[in-house]
Chain A
Amino acid sequence: MSIGERLNELLTEDKTMIPVNIGIGPEGFFNINKSVVYSWGIMLVFLILCIFLTSNMRIHNISKKQLIAETIVVKLRGLVADLLGSFGSRYTEYILTVLLYIALSNLVGVVGLVPPTMDLNVTVGLALMSIVLIEAASISKNGAGGWLKSFTKPIWIVTPMNILELAIRPLSLCMRLFGNVLGATVIMELIKMAVPMFIPALASLYFDFFDGLIQAYVFIFLTSLYIKEATE
C-alpha cells in the first residue's frame, strides 16, 4: 500500500459507527460517528476514575487516592483561576471539563485508536459551546444592552469586525484543534510506514502527549481569555 493510498484511506474513511435512520433529513445525517462512541468510552473512564478517586472521602487521615483527587482539583482550579478572572471563575468547572476531555481524547491515539478530536463534528461542537459560553458570560455580566454595546468598542467603526469575531473565534478554535490532531495523526501514520521500529514510539511522545496536551491547553486558554475579556 503506497503512502498516498494509506492517507486517502485515513482521510476518507467512513466515520459512521452506529447508523441511525429516523427518516428525516439527508441520508446519514443522524448516524453516530466513531468519535461520539469513543467519547462515551472517555466519559466512562472519567466516571469510573472520579468515583474511584472520590469514594470514601474523609476529613482526617486521608488515603492516597483522596490526596490525588484533592491535588488534581486544587491544581486544575489554580491552572485556570488566573485565566478566567474573578467573574469568569464561575465557569471554572466547565473549562476544566473541556480540558480533561480534549486531553484524554488526544491521548487515545497512543493506544492506536482514532482521537475523537480528529472528527470535525467534535471540534465544531466544542467551539460552538465555547462561543455560546463567552457571549453568555458577557450578557450575564453586562446585561443584554451592555453586551450589544460591547460590539461598538473600542470605537464604532470596528463593529463589523466584532460581529465577524463571533464566527471567527469558534472557527479558529475548532480548526486549530482539528488541524493539529489530524496533522499529528497523519504524520504518525507516515512515520509508522517509513520506520516501523522505535521512531514511532518517540514521535508518539511528541505528537500524542506533548502536542495533544498543548492543544487541549490552548483550547481552554483561548476560551478562558475570551471569557475574561468579555467580562472585564
Chain B
Amino acid sequence: MLNVNFNIVYTIINILILFVIFRVFLFKRVDKVLKERNDEIENATATAEKKSSDADAAKAKYDADVQKLEEEKENIISESREKGYHEYAQIVANAKVEAGSIIEDAKKTAKLESERQRRIYEAEITEMVVSAASKIAAGSHSEQQDSELYNRFIDEAGDEEK
C-alpha cells in the first residue's frame, strides 16, 4: 500500500504538463482577452478625456472670440454714434448758415422790390399831381370845383393804390 516508486516522477511530469495546458489554453487566452478589453477601456477613457479637454479649450476660445466681437461691436456703435452726432451737428450748422443766407437774400429782394414799388408810386403820384395841377391851371375854378377835384384826386389815388 505504501510502496513508493517511479510513479512520483510520472506524477510530477503530469502536473507540469497540466500546468502547461492550463497556462496555454486557459490563463493566457483569458488574460489576453481581459488585457485587450482593459486596454480598450483605457483608450476610450483617454480619448474621451482628450475630447473633453479639447471641447473645453474650444469653448474658452469661442467665449473669448465672442467677448472680442462684443467689444468690437461696442466700439463700432459708439464710433458711428459719434460720427452721426458730428454729421448731424454739421448738417444743422450748414442748414443754419444756408437759412441765414436765404433769409438775407429774401430780405434784400423784399427791400429792392419795395424800393421799386415805391418808385412806381412816386412816379404815378407825380404824374397825378402834374395832371391835377395842369387841370387846375387850365380851367376856371370855383370853390366847389376845387373840392370836387380834390375828391377825384383822392379817389384816383385810392384806386391806384388798390
Contact = CB atoms under 8 A, between A and B. Distances in A.
B144 interface: no
A120 B23 CA distance: 27
Given A43-B17, A59-B33, A125-B15, A32 B10 contact: yes
Q: Classify chain B's interface size.
A: 20 to 34
Given A40-B14, A93-B27, A120-B2, A100 B7 contact: no
A129 B33 contact: no
Given A29-B5, A120-B2, A124-B4, A73 B30 contact: yes
A97 B18 contact: yes
Contact of A50 (B5, B14, B22): B22
Interface in A2-44: 11-12, 25-26, 28-33, 35-36, 39-40, 42-43
A43 B21 contact: yes
A33 B7 contact: yes
Contacts of A129: 12, 15
A90 to B, nearest CB: 12
A203 B134 CA distance: 177
Given A122-B7, A128-B8, A97 B33 contact: no
B30 A57 contact: yes
Given A50-B26, A69-B30, A12 B4 contact: no
A27 B19 CA distance: 31
B69 to A, nearest CB: 46
Contacts of B11: 35-36, 39, 121-122, 124-126
A51 B22 CA distance: 10
A87 interface: no
B25 A125 contact: no
B114 to A, nearest CB: 109
A59 B14 contact: no
Contact of B22 (A30, A39, A100): A100
27 contacts: A29-B6, A31-B5, A31-B6, A35-B11, A36-B7, A43-B18, A47-B21, A50-B26, A53-B26, A57-B32, A57-B33, A59-B36, A59-B40, A69-B30, A70-B33, A72-B26, A73-B27, A73-B31, A96-B27, A101-B18, A122-B11, A124-B8, A124-B11, A125-B8, A125-B10, A126-B15, A129-B15
Interface of A: 11-12, 25-26, 28-33, 35-36, 39-40, 42-43, 46-47, 50-51, 53-54, 57-59, 66, 69-70, 72-74, 93-94, 96-98, 100-101, 119-122, 124-126, 128-129
Interface of B: 1-12, 14-15, 17-19, 21-23, 25-27, 29-34, 36-37, 40
